[in-house]
Amino acid sequence: MIGHKQIPSRSGGVEIVVEKLSEHLMKRGIQIDIYNRRMPEGEQIREYKGMRMYYSFTVHRKNLDAIIAAFFSTLRALTRGYDILHYHAEGSCLMLWLPHLFHKKIAVTIHGLDWRRAKWSRFASKMLLVGEKFAVKYADQIIVLSKDVQRYFMEQYGRRTNYIPNGVDPMPKRRPNLIRKKFGLEKEGYILFLARIVPEKGLHYLINAYKNIDTEKKLVVAGNCPYAQEYGRQILELAGNSEKIIFTGFVEGELLEELFSNAAVYVLPSEIEGMPISLLEAMSYGRCCLVSDIPENLNVAEGCVESFCTGNTDDLQRHLEELLRDPEKCCRLGEKAADYVGRCYNWEMVAERTVEVYESK
């Protein structure tokens, strides 16, 4: 596995997917080696849940990190006789020409059309687009997470891809213990935003909408802002000194589980997504979800969520106010979402279909 930042980690959706998929592939008897990016701090573990862990040199700069790490990971991987090299995300695909030269079988998972994301410079976006074209040219098999991206590859390149959505594990529901002690939060006493704090996630729309709503419920912003410090500063300025807007920073483990378990509404106002794992998780917890109406969100949810017009703060405000006034509707939507996710999204199915891709010619 090449292209993620580091496992184990919840630093992004790619990392969650690589970890969960690898776990379930291991259960099927496939040995998985993980090529992490070497971090300036942190322990370098050599084995995790049966997976062998390797660490590749990189430069921790936004426009170079993924490309350099993929280059050194590929060089090391080519010496180890793997049956398959599985690359994740478009940035790492810039290195696909290397294993292609050595006639290695290459699988690629496109987690989203990364070159469209606002966080990238014009040069970086162009390089990501080159990575996408390299995936079309050199990959033996391409996996996509949404039917819209599948259509895009067919219309843009005439390239067939394999649609395999992400999964989600059953989550333990927890009472508000840690979140009460750390942040003063109670059950259904807050609106939850949980994602990376980057422009395309649309947090600025949510904060502007929330500030115009008369509610006692707090707004909890859970996430960090890697490579987007300027946007992070803008968000803090937008929130002002409001005691009702709580920034938790990066969360995981029991704290994360408590935040999901006790939110009144989960809001994902993103403008661009691949396949949002955090939305699947919120739905699996039986949370009422309010999302922007981009296809990637709506295709995941299949009518089990409320949606608003992407980028429209007034429409977001209107829908959020309606949900906060109608807890019974929130409950119905949450129950419907949990049932749907439990039936349609699971990692066993993802692993089974991924093995089929590996074994195909």
Domain assignment present for residue 114? The answer is: yes
The per-residue pLDDT for 118 is 66
Is a pLDDT exceeding 70 seen at residue 227? no
- In a shared domain, residues 69 and 161: yes
Mean pLDDT, rounded, for 254-266: 97
- In a shared domain, residues 252 and 288: yes
The 3-state DSSP composition of the chain as helix, strand, coil percent (nearest 5) reads: 45, 15, 40
Sheet order of strands, 84-88 included: 84-88, 105-110, 141-144, 162-163
Domain assignment present for residue 353? The answer is: yes
Per-range mean pLDDT, top range of 36-50, 201-215, 290-304:
201-215
- In a shared domain, residues 123 and 247: no
The per-residue pLDDT for 215 is 96
Task: Give the Cα separation of 127 and 193 in Å (integer).
Answer: 30
The per-residue pLDDT for 228 is 65
Query: CB atoms < 10 A from the CB of 197, how many?
Result: 24
Domain assignment present for residue 86? The answer is: yes
For position 286, which CATH number holds?
Answer: 3.40.50.2000
The count of C-alpha atoms lying within 13 angstroms of the C-alpha of 28, restricted to the half-sphere facing its C-beta, is 18
Query: CB atoms < 10 A from the CB of 133, how many?
Result: 16
When mean pLDDT is compared across 39-43, 76-80, 313-317, the lowest value belongs to: 39-43
Q: Where are the alpha helices (DSSP H) in the chain?
A: 13-27, 65-77, 97-101, 122-138, 147-157, 178-183, 203-211, 229-239, 253-262, 277-284, 295-301, 313-325, 327-344, 347-359
* Closest CA relative to residue 13, chosen from 283, 256, 194: 194
Instruction: Return the bridge partners of 163, or none.
Output: 144
Residue 119: pLDDT band by 50, 70, 90 thresholds?
low
Is a pLDDT exceeding 80 seen at residue 117? no
Is a pLDDT exceeding 80 seen at residue 40? no
Average pLDDT, the chain: 93
The per-residue pLDDT for 230 is 87
Domain assignment present for residue 172? The answer is: no
- In a shared domain, residues 160 and 184: no
Mean pLDDT, rounded, for 185-191: 97
Mean pLDDT, rounded, for 3-26: 90
Residue 357: pLDDT band by 50, 70, 90 thresholds?
very high
- In a shared domain, residues 113 and 39: yes
Mean pLDDT, rounded, for 123-150: 93
Q: Which domain holds residue 215?
A: 178-344
Is a pLDDT exceeding 90 seen at residue 125? no
Is a pLDDT exceeding 80 seen at residue 66? yes
> From the DSSP assignment, how many helices (H) and strands (E) are in the chain?
14, 13
Domain assignment present for residue 31? The answer is: yes
pLDDT in tens, 247-256: 999 898 999 9
Domain assignment present for residue 3? The answer is: no
Is a pLDDT exceeding 90 seen at residue 274? no
How buried is residue 181: exposed, middle or buried, by Cβ count under 10 Å (0-12/13-18/19+)? exposed
More confident residue, 272 or 306: 306
- In a shared domain, residues 17 and 163: yes
The per-residue pLDDT for 170 is 79
- In a shared domain, residues 315 and 355: no
- In a shared domain, residues 212 and 243: yes
- In a shared domain, residues 184 and 217: yes
- In a shared domain, residues 112 and 136: yes
- In a shared domain, residues 81 and 182: no
Instruction: Give the CA dihedral 24, 256, 197, 34, nearest 10 degrees.
Output: -30
Overall pTM > 0.85 = no
Number of independent structural domains in the chain? 2
Is a pLDDT exceeding 70 seen at residue 338? yes
Domain assignment present for residue 22? The answer is: yes
Phi, psi of 84 (to 5 degrees): -140, 140
When mean pLDDT is compared across 6-20, 42-56, 139-153, 202-216, the lowest value belongs to: 6-20
- In a shared domain, residues 228 and 289: yes
Grouping H, G, I as helix, E, B as strand and the rest as coil, residue 201 is helix
Q: Are 265 and 323 in contact (CB under 8 A)?
A: yes
Domain assignment present for residue 4? The answer is: no
